[in-house]
Amino acid sequence: MSSDFASVPKHKIILTLLNGTGYIFEIKDYMFLRRHHHIVGALVGSCNARGLSPNEQTLPIALTSLETKLLVEEGIAVIVSKATALLKTPTELDLHQYKDRLNDRLTEQAETLKHQKLKDAEINLDKIINGKRKKLLQKGIPETEIDLNPQQVLKEIADSITFDRKNALLEICCAHPDQHIASIVQLPSLEEHSLKYLVFRDFWLRGKFVTPGDTFGADFLIYPGDPLLYHASHIVVLLGHCKLEPLELIAKVRLSVIVNKHCVFAYFNERNAGEEGCPKICYQTVYWEGNQDRERSKQ
């Protein structure tokens, strides 16, 4: 079911439903979630290759389905769909407004380019004038006849600056200047008591930063603080049952040792139920004895 988007409380973060999960287009919303609710998400913007620092050039932020479900259930955010507004056939007025805004943005780019080039020219004006003087002398013009006025040179440079729209900067996916019609929607189906979600929620409630652990052959990476400032301390491997094959145990633990992290196995306790009738989660942390010996030697 959907409800009126205007009824959303101002303190709640707006998540836009795309590809079955929530996306964030406002940098202030993302920084609030990261600082106060230790939600990381994934920077999927056009300039995310420049680094992991969240800014307007790395928007939007794609949340995992687990992060989206958690934020909605905890009352921190609502998820909305803008499909009706964004997929409708644009009217003549919509097209006219779009073209006007596009032209305004391109004009701003042209003015910015001209301003920057003139600023660079002013810094290097002496070199430019000396270069022009040398060229005139090479053409056989006497020194006494050469009159290079700095202001005239800058005017010539300004007149020669052209802006080709083919070279316009790429627009990134930031928040749209207009508020689109949107409706609050239910989350795509996600198993209520799935081990993956319950483990993710459990570590989140403990104040940890939890990210996908695919790059380390695990299900989750656990950080004691913001991943920009801390290395992950644990890898979490989910098990379908409490039994584990020896070779799998050796493989996972050896991997955790190589990357200098503790390995945590998580599984349901089939005999006992936790709160609200949910299966109880059991954790087993495996340490390499070599690390224990090293810690004892420091004491």
pLDDT tens by residue, 7-55: 667 788 999 998 889 999 888 999 999 999 999 999 887 655 545 555 6
Residues in CB range of 4: below 8 A, 6 or more apart = 183, 184
Edge-to-edge strand ranges of the sheet holding 279-286: 209-212, 220-223, 234-238, 262-273, 279-286
List, as one string, the DSSP characters of the chain.
Answer: --EEGGGS-TTSEEEEEETTEEEE--HHHHHHHHHHH----EE-STTGGG-S--SGGG--EEPPHHHHHHHHHTTSEEEEE-HHHHHSPPPHHHHHHHHHHHHHHHHHHHHHHHHHHHHHHHHTHHHHHHHHHHHHHHTT--GGG----HHHHHHHHHHH----GGGPPPPP----SS----EE-PPPP--TT-HHHHHHHHHHHTT-EEEE-GGGTSSEEEESS-TTT----EEEEE-SSS---HHHHHHHHHHHHHTT-EEEEEEEEEEEE-GGGPEEEEEEEE--HHHHHHHHHH-
Q: How far, rounded to the nearest angstrom, does the alpha carbon of residue 135 sit from its chain's CA centroid?
A: 51
User: Regarding beta strands 234-238 and 262-273, do their DSSP bridges make them parallel or antiparallel, or are they unpaired?
Assistant: parallel
- Residues 33 and 55: their CA atoms lie apart, in Å, by 14
Residue in the structure block whose two tokens are 């070199």: 127
Which residue spans of the chain are classified as CATH 3.40.1170?
A: 5-88+175-184
Per-residue pLDDT of the chain (299 residues; tens, 9 = 90+): 444 555 667 788 999 998 889 999 888 999 999 999 999 999 887 655 545 555 666 788 999 999 999 999 999 999 998 888 878 898 999 899 989 988 998 999 999 989 999 999 999 999 999 998 898 888 888 888 888 888 999 999 999 998 888 888 766 656 776 777 777 888 766 666 789 999 999 999 999 999 999 988 899 999 999 999 999 999 999 998 888 888 888 888 888 888 889 999 999 987 766 556 667 899 999 877 765 555 566 55
Give helix 92-123 / helix 125-138 axis angle, nearest 10°.
70
Give the CATH number of domain 195-297.
Answer: 3.40.1350.10
Question: Is it true that domain 5-88+175-184 has CATH number 1.20.120?
Answer: no
pLDDT tens by residue, 251-264: 888 888 888 899 99
> Residue 233 has which token pair?
């301390």
Residues in CB range of 279: below 8 A, 6 or more apart = 193, 195, 198, 268, 269, 270, 273
- Residues 214 and 209: their CA atoms lie apart, in Å, by 15
Residue in the structure block whose two tokens are 């584990």: 244
Which residue spans of the chain are classified as CATH 3.40.1350.10?
A: 195-297
Catalytically annotated residues: 223, 231, 261
Taking the whole predicted model, whether its pTM rises above 0.85 is answered as: no
The end-to-end CA distance of the chain, in Å, is: 60
